[in-house]
Structure 1
Amino acid sequence: MSDAKVEEMSFEQAMGELEQVVSQLERGDVPLEQSITLYEHGAKLKKHCEAKLKEAEEKVAAITFDGDGAPKGTTPVEGL
């Protein structure tokens, strides 16, 4: 597990670490207590990835287009 705080990770960092957690849990060779810790960490990573994706979706949805279909700017999304 990375020493970086989950909330400070980029989407890519969190996703990579989540993949490592899942891999370790799927192997089944981790002691029970460590499995619980890994599962909790994985849940935090999943939540963080979902939040980052939602943020990106909102930014994309806020892009406005001109009559030719070309982006002409963005409309600020509340809270971003």
Structure 2
Amino acid sequence: MSNKEKTKKTFEENLQDLEAIVSKLENGDVPLEDAIAEFQEGMRLSKKLENTLQEAEKTLVKVMQADGTEKEMDANG
């Protein structure tokens, strides 16, 4: 395992990886076996990105009001 694989990638790095996979698959020049592996990796990255966004949403439970006070956000947005 390389050093890059050992370090945790940022949300943006994972998103770039997913976008690269999508581009590669859309191009269609990928052998079937590679396309399947790329698709599986894309699905894994997609789930990881979704989980990161859900965790961020849970963290952002307060918003600042115009007067500087904090207000709890509604769970539905």
Tell me the TM-score normalised to structure 2 length.
0.73
Report the CA distance between 1:10 and its aligned residue.
1.4
Superposed CA offset, 1:40-73 (max 9, x none):
000000000000111111111x2265793x355x
Rate the CA distance shift 1:51–1:66 in 2: closer, same or farther, 3 A.
Answer: same
The 5 A counterparts of 1:1-80 are 4=5, 8-60=8-60, 62-63=61-62, 65=64, 68=67, 70=68, 72=70
Equivalent pairs: percent with the same residue?
38
Q: What amino acid is aligned across from residue 50 of structure 2 in structure 1?
A: E
Q: Any runs of at least 4 consecutive aligned residues in structure 1 with deviations exceeding 4 A, and if so which?
A: 64-67
Q: Give the total of aligned pairs.
A: 68
Rate the CA distance shift 1:66–1:26 in 2: closer, same or farther, 3 A.
Answer: closer
Q: What amino acid is aligned across from residue 19 of structure 1 in structure 2?
A: E
Tell me the TM-score normalised to structure 1 length.
0.71
CA-atom RMSD in angstroms: 2.5
